Amino acid sequence: MATHTPRIFRHVRTLVLATVAIFALTAAAADAQARTQKPALHGKHWMAVTGKPLAATAGAMIFERGGNAVDAACAMIAATSTMWDTLSWGGETQALIYNPNTGKVIGINGLGVAPTGATPEYFRKLGMKVPPEFGPLAAVTPGTPGGLMTMLAEYGTMSLAQVLAPAIEMADGYPMEAELVATIESNKERLRQWPDSRRVLLIHAGEAHEAPYPGEMFHQPDLAATLRKLVEAEKKALAAGKDRKAAIYAAYDRFYRGDIARDLVAAVRAQGGLFTTEDLANWKVKIEEPVHVNYKGIEVYKLTTWVQSPVMLQALNLLEGMDLKSMGYNSARYIHTLYQVMNLAYADRDFYYGDPAFQPAPPVAGLLSKDYARERVKLIRTDRNDPDVRPGDPYPYQNGINPFTEYLSKWHSRMPAETPTAMAEFDRTFRLGTTSVEAADDKGWAVSVTPSGGWVPAVIAGHTGIGLSQRMQSFVLDPADNPYNVVQPGKRPRATLTPTLALKDAKPYLIFSVQGGDTQDQNLLQFFLDVVEFGMTVQEATEAANITSYQMRDSFGQHESFPGRLTVNTATPQWVRGELNRMGYKLEFEERSSGPINAIFVDREHGTLWGGSSNHGEDYGIGW
């Protein structure tokens, strides 16, 4: 008996230390909940949260004038696009809307498509391995104007003139903030290549500092004229007896089939782009039924595989059978579990996601099958990271046969040389930002939007004032990389943009999204678990420590990945760091690691709205 006592003591000591560690992590989570760097927002009637305070004010103005959450969201999209808040008017808009009149969630697909002539052969002849990141050939057709006008026409209550009024005033001139100043100045070499970008954005051309200065009035007369043309088209339609909805669609037609379209196409083609007037005329916004899964009684809604959105739903399916609370908040075991689950979900994203309008369509039913998740989760190693997690085969879970088994058998994680240059380039593209827009009101409307595209440095299309998208780079040229996302005229690239709505008891519960490229659904998954599993408020959860994986393929640049690389919060305890190192992770640290999450919680117990906005950047909101 005595010979076994030391072993028993060691076992007991290990259990005690593990228990103490979990209690310490749980206490740390509770302590984190007690303090936030930003206060939570509260409102009875409405809540507007977005990427810039001025844009949130635009949403508040619309609410105060009697608009609903869709009207306010449209005003915020317009304002952020005008402010170049990591997007502009030539980008794309994708949204989820809860309609209280029908009790349904609607998806808005405002992502542009590849233009005529955009084929793998075309780009290979130019010596490219992937479509370009910058310039006129990086642009898909503009989607944000159509997305905004479709949302407003179908689900809003106000006129286009009312909703665009704040953006038009801003286009006439607004005081620029320091963040955009720094972005323009750091990209001025590239902006000089394109005459209208240089003219509009480098207002001190030839001086040491060429961008506007913080607080300096920034004027965009060309953009203001384009927006006024839309309002003019609406006004003429109303004068001709058209109703509100038809008048908004008259403005839509002027942008995509009228003089604005002709001017935009001429400017793009003069700079070497591929757009045709037919490309704009044939493109249309899609109103779609989103996909969703149930996680412990909460229905989580996402857009489908033309964006990365379902990857979070796959992760939730993988996690649903686990006792996450018992692992301890951000313990080594919890972090490792999240990382491995994301590996599995993102490997499927990287191989299977693409535009479902093209055949063969991505196997969405199989990917979101609970049975598929139960089989995939068996692949997780509990002791260390697997650097070569591969896509599964979801086709048997939807009674189908995989058409791309040849590519699937050869697919593997990419492991480029970890040189300082490669790492720096990867880091520049992996987190490419956008903005997010969240709105809710006391009538029951709830809206989550992740508009993007046309960020600085963007090509401005002549005197339209419209900055062009850079979304073409999210396509691939080689079907072995992703057979569902090979560039083709008329096809939507698989984007990273991922708004989220969660319903509880068939009513809005959480409305949330985030900017940040391939980090978006990583952040949103952790935010959701922080609220649902660890009981945080939305403000606490937007600021809470997140991890970031780089094992998935970058959706931008050269589509590379860095398996095992892991960013954790600087507050991560030493014993957690040590355990993660032993599991094969290469750790990096950030003080603010949550990403710029924006969120609204619908508090049914008290009949109020909570707003949360991360301490990561300039995002914030207003409630009443």
Amino acid 431: pLDDT:
62
Parent domain of 588: 312-429+512-623
- 183, 199, 218 — which closes off a domain? 218
Domain-located, residue 283: no
**pLDDT given for residue 560 in this prediction:** 85
Whether 304 maps to a domain, the answer reads no
Residue 165 has a pLDDT of 98
Within a domain: 530: yes
> In this structure, what CATH number is given to the domain that contains residue 423?
1.10.246.130
Specify whether 408 is located in the same domain as 537. yes
- Judge if 197 and 325 occupy the same domain: no
Question: Cβ(432)–Cβ(556) under 8 Å?
Answer: yes
Question: Which pLDDT score, from 0 to 100, does residue 417 have?
Answer: 63
| Residue at token pair 């290979």 | 124
User: Which residue's entry shows tokens 């692992």?
Assistant: 327
Same domain? For 212 and 340 the reply is: no
What is the pLDDT, as a whole number, of residue 412? 84
| Rounded-to-integer distance, Cα 596 and Cα 410, Å | 36
| Domain-embedded: residue 152 | no
445 in any annotated domain: no
Assess whether 414 and 523 both reside in one domain.
yes
DSSP for 558-598, please give it: T----TTEEEEETT--HHHHHHHHHTT-EEEEESS-S-SEE
Q: Is the distance from CB of 90 to CB of 467 less than 8 angstroms? A: yes
Same domain, 420 and 525: yes
Whether residues 209 and 318 share a domain: the answer is: no
Count the Cβ atoms, other than its own, within 10 Å of residue 370: 13
Last residue of a domain, one of 183, 218, 253: 218
DSSP strands (E only) in 296-350: 298-302
Q: Are residues 417 and 533 in the same domain?
A: yes
Low-confidence ranges of the chain (pLDDT < 70): 1-34, 415-418, 425, 428-433
CA distances (Å), origin 554, targets 15, 59, 132, 354, 534: 40, 33, 14, 15, 30
With CA atoms as reference, report the closest residue to 255 among 218, 226, 215.
226
Provide the pLDDT for residue 19. 39
Out of 185, 218, 251, pick the residue that ends a domain. Answer: 218
The pLDDT of residue 34: 53
Pairing of strands 446-449, 565-569: unpaired
Number of domains in the chain: 2
In a domain, 97, yes or no: no
- Report the C-alpha gap between 517 and 85 in whole angstroms: 14
SS (H, E, C) 454-493: CCCCCCECHHHCCEECCHHHHCECCCCCCCCCECCCCCCC
Is 337 within the bounds of a domain?
yes
Query: Rounded to an integer, what distance in angstroms lies between the CA atom of residue 41 and that of residue 58?
Result: 17
Which residues, including other chains, have CB under 8 Å from residue 488's CB and lie 6 or more apart?
114, 118, 119, 358
Let me know if residue 130 belongs to a domain.
no
- CA pair distance 66, 245, nearest whole angstrom: 18
In angstroms, what CA-CA distances link 490 with 116, 160, 278, 281, 283? 7, 28, 11, 12, 8
CB of 552 within 8 A of CB of 346? yes
Task: From 230, 227, 224, 229, select the one nearest 252 (Cα to Cα).
Answer: 230
